[in-house]
């Protein structure tokens, strides 16, 4: 992922202002350590920190049209850029960068071209002919982006909050699936698929349609001119991504240059579920597998860096970001610049354990819609910023626009969890890749129970965080929490500890407003907490907090379990609720 920064209409074209923009842009250099660029036109500044994935030799930014009247700074990957270039036969491109199409598409189609882009992106486009500009962010917010306003009437855009928070009177997260136009001085929603209104769809479940759509989503993301790999925890989502990548790698340009054997990466505490499962899947797929071990103390020592880079005080996000942050540094040290990851599947298919309690298909579907719409505040933010902290790019095929549309058009009855029928969470995805003739994965991996990333890296990780927080936050501090932090008041010592660190880095009110709040259990939205009255007594966001979900859904008899039985790898324990461990 690259880093972009733009200051537009600041009424100051002095050298001092240019130096300030360069200084702020350097705060984003971790996102793009390969090259820096800046463009100034009067009182408009566009800066860029590049992570070179496509055309490393000539794709430096900002990018221009033929006569350089249109200027673009962009963070993203446009997977259909070759197809779009064919539509632009009368245009001359300066680079082989996938993002080079943006300025030319604007020339041809105006602001309406954004929906033509198949990929992930955040960009600022300046049209010097009339001094107008537009800003856009991808459909669900895989790339991070913020917008701010200065007292001098300027508008600021930055990939991360740290690029603008000191110079803006107010700032906020740029909404996914929207564009901002200087011509209308406001936002316009460009991404508005049928599922967005949350009405219940009715398309019958067809396993092969899901399989084809996801294979397409993965293979288009193998576009790379640099070494890449896959994050592999051994769970369903990352294992499917790795399996499909391994099948299709041989035919890619990257394989011809870097070799046909896929590299996979896993992180965890010694003896954690993810390490064992990841190793087994890697052996099955024949990847070059890299295990990274960390200790609870390693994670605790990194917490301040994690909060600075990920820019949140959300408990779940910090718990999961820390192992990913540590692993990303190790991956980058091996010369890898891009990885594929499995975020998004649980939101689309209702994979979190609390979905067992969905009362009907309408509630189930509406909760998946709410979860996808909120991804940019949670898992997308984590995957983007925890990897970008070390100049590593994460691509997430489950959040492909076409795949989301296919999966979200399904009648949600097919996604409902029904143990009596052998249907566990994400059954429709598991069934789509349950191929007897040419298996994608071993059965027990294909039907492995969901582990949240922060749980799967080792159960003592969360317990260690809580213990550390308890040593640094006392009861007297908690008694005043509502007065110290009236917005999103921390309810636990762990949350209080993270909040103190966040406020030190980002003290502005606008900053604290960018972080979501509200009741949650096992990653649910506040609305879904209403599904079970007992959940209100256990608001821990960990997957282990879905008290009794599996105990009540699977009553202890094998007949209620899927075939093959839902279990962890070999003799690893399954967490069946808060503090209840079942040996399989």
pLDDT digits (tens, 9 = 90+) for 526-557: 899 999 888 877 666 665 555 455 444 444 43
Is 50 exceeded by the pLDDT of residue 252?
Answer: yes
pLDDT at 426: 96
Using CA atoms, how far apart are residues 404 and 217, in angstroms rounded to an integer?
10
**CB atoms near residue 534 (< 10 Å):** 10
Using CA atoms, how far apart are residues 177 and 137, in angstroms rounded to an integer?
6
How large a percentage of the chain has pLDDT more than 90?
80
Using alpha carbons, list the distances in angstroms from residue 330 to 267, 291, 564. Answer: 10, 10, 36
| Mean pLDDT to the nearest integer, 121-145 | 98
> E strand or H helix at 339, and its extent?
strand 338-340
Calculate Rg over the CA atoms of the chain.
23
Q: What one-character-per-residue DSSP string does 461-492 give?
A: HHHHHHHHHHHHS-HHHHHTHHHH--SS---S
Using CA atoms, how far apart are residues 30 and 161, in angstroms rounded to an integer?
14
Long-range contacts of 408-411 (CB under 8 A, 24+ apart): 408/193, 408/194, 408/195, 408/201, 408/348, 408/368, 408/369, 408/372, 409/194, 409/195, 409/201, 409/203, 410/201, 410/203, 410/204, 410/205, 411/200, 411/201, 411/202, 411/203, 411/204, 411/205, 411/361
pLDDT at 250: 87
Using CA atoms, how far apart are residues 284 and 232, in angstroms rounded to an integer?
12
Question: The CATH number of 3-192 is which of 3.40.50.300, 3.20.20.210, 3.60.20.10, 3.20.20.70?
Answer: 3.60.20.10
Q: Where in the chain is the domain with CATH 3.60.20.10?
A: 3-192
Angle among Cα 307, 311, 314 to the nearest 5 degrees reads: 75
**DSSP 8-state assignment for residue 136:** E
pLDDT at 294: 95
Using CA atoms, how far apart are residues 214 and 372, in angstroms rounded to an integer?
17
Question: Using one digit for the tens of pLDDT, what is the confidence trace for 296-349?
Answer: 999 999 999 999 999 999 999 999 999 999 999 999 999 999 999 999 999 999
pLDDT at 538: 66
Is 231 assigned to a binding site?
yes
Active-site residues, by number, are: 2
- Go through 207-232 and write b for each residue having 16 or more CB atoms within 10 A of its CB, e for each that does not: bebbbebbbbbbbbbbbbbbebbbbb
- Which ranges of 452-577 does DSSP label H, i.e. alpha helix? 453-456, 459-472, 475-479, 481-484, 493-505, 509-513, 549-553
Question: Using one digit for the tens of pLDDT, what is the confidence trace for 169-218?
Answer: 999 999 999 999 999 999 999 999 999 999 999 999 999 999 999 999 99
Using CA atoms, how far apart are residues 163 and 26, in angstroms rounded to an integer?
8
Per-residue tokens: 537: 């007594």
Is 549 assigned to a binding site?
no
- Rounded to two decimals, the pTM is 0.92
CATH class of 206-458: alpha beta
Preceding amide of 246 cis, omega within 30: no
Residue 581: band (very low, low, confident or very high) from pLDDT cuts 50, 70, 90: very low
Taking 3-state DSSP, the helix, strand and coil percentages for the chain, each rounded to the nearest 5, stand at 45, 15, 40
Question: Using one digit for the tens of pLDDT, what is the confidence trace for 457-502?
Answer: 767 999 999 999 999 999 999 999 999 999 999 999 999 999 999 9
Determine contact, residues 290/265, Cβ cutoff 8 Å.
Answer: yes
Q: Where in the chain is the domain with CATH 3.40.50.620?
A: 206-458
Mean pLDDT of the chain: 90
pLDDT at 567: 30
Looking from the CA of 15 toward its CB, the CA atoms found within 13 Å total 0
Residue 133: band (very low, low, confident or very high) from pLDDT cuts 50, 70, 90: very high
Helix, strand, or coil here: 358? coil
Residue 70: band (very low, low, confident or very high) from pLDDT cuts 50, 70, 90: very high
Q: Which residue has the higher pLDDT, 96 or 148?
A: 148
pLDDT at 521: 79
| Mean pLDDT to the nearest integer, 351-363 | 94
Using CA atoms, how far apart are residues 184 and 28, in angstroms rounded to an integer?
29
pLDDT at 455: 63
pLDDT at 457: 73
**CB atoms near residue 243 (< 10 Å):** 25
pLDDT at 519: 83
Per-residue tokens: 104: 């030319």
Q: What's the farthest any 2 CA atoms get from each other in the chain? A: 74
What is the separation, in whole angstroms, between the first and last Cα of the chain? 41
Is 399 assigned to a binding site?
no
> E strand or H helix at 284, and its extent?
helix 273-285
Torsion sign (Cα): 118, 122, 128, 132: positive
Using CA atoms, how far apart are residues 65 and 129, in angstroms rounded to an integer?
12
Preceding amide of 564 cis, omega within 30: yes
Helix, strand, or coil here: 137? strand
| Mean pLDDT to the nearest integer, 53-73 | 90
């Amino acid at each position: 992922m690259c880093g972009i920064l733009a200051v537009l209409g600041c009424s100051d074209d002095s050298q001092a202002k240019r130096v300030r923009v360069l200084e702020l842009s350097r705060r984003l250099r971790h996102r793009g350590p390969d090259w820096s660029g800046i463009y100034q036109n009067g009182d408009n500044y566009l800066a860029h920190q590049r992570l070179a994935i496509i055309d490393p030799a000539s794709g430096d930014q900002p990018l221009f049209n033929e006569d350089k009247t249109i200027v673009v700074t962009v963070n993203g990957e446009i997977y259909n850029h070759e197809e779009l270039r064919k539509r632009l036969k009368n245009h001359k491109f300066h680079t082989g960068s996938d993002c080079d199409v943006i300025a030319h598409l604007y020339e041809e189609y105006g602001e309406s071209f954004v929906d033509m882009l198949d990929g992930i992106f955040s960009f600022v486009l300046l049209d010097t002919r009339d001094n107008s500009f537009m800003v856009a962010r991808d459909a669900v917010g895989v790339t991070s982006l913020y917008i701010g306003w200065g007292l001098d009437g300027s508008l600021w855009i930055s990939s991360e909050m740290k690029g603008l928070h000191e110079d803006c009177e107010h700032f906020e997260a740029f909404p996914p699936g929207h564009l901002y136009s200087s011509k209308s001085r406001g936002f316009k929603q460009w991404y508005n698929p049928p599922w967005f209104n949350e009405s219940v769809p009715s398309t019958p479940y067809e396993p092969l349609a899901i399989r084809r759509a996801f294979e397409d989503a993965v293979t288009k993301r193998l576009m790379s001119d640099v070494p890449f790999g896959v994050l592999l925890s051994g769970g369903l989502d990352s294992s499917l991504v790795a399996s499909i990548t391994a099948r299709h790698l041989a035919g890619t340009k990257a394989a011809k240059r870097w070799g046909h054997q896929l590299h996979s990466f896993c992180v965890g505490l010694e003896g954690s579920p993810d390490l064992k499962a990841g190793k087994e899947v890697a052996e099955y797929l024949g990847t070059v597998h890299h295990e990274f071990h960390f200790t609870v103390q390693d994670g605790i020592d990194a917490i301040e860096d994690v909060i600075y880079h990920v820019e949140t005080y959300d408990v779940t996000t910090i718990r999961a970001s820390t192992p990913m942050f540590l692993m990303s540094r190790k991956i980058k040290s091996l010369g890898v610049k891009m990885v594929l990851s499995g975020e998004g599947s649980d939101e689309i298919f209702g994979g979190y354990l609390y979905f067992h309690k969905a009362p009907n298909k309408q509630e189930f579907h509406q909760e998946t819609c709410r979860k996808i719409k909120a991804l940019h505040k949670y898992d997308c933010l984590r995957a983007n910023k925890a990897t970008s902290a070390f100049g590593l790019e994460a691509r997430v095929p489950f959040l492909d626009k076409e795949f989301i549309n296919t999966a979200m058009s399904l009648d949600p009855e097919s996604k409902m969890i029904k143990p009596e029928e052998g249907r566990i969470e994400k059954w429709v995805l598991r069934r789509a890749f349950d191929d007897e003739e040419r298996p994608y994965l071993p059965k027990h991996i294909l039907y492995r129970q969901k582990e949240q990333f922060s749980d799967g890296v080792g159960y003592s990780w969360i317990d260690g965080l809580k213990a550390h927080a308890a040593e640094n936050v006392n009861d007297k501090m908690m008694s005043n929490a509502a007065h110290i932090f009236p917005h999103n008041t921390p309810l636990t010592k762990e949350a209080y500890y993270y909040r103190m660190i966040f406020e030190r880095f980002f003290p502005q009110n606008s900053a604290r407003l960018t972080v979501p709040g509200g009741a949650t259990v096992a990653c649910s939205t506040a609305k879904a907490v209403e599904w079970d009255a007992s959940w209100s007594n256990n608001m821990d966001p960990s997957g282990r907090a879905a008290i009794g979900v599996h105990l009540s859904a699977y009553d202890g008899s094998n007949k209620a379990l899927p075939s093959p039985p839902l279990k962890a790898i070999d003799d690893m324990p399954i967490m069946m609720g808060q503090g209840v461990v079942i040996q399989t």
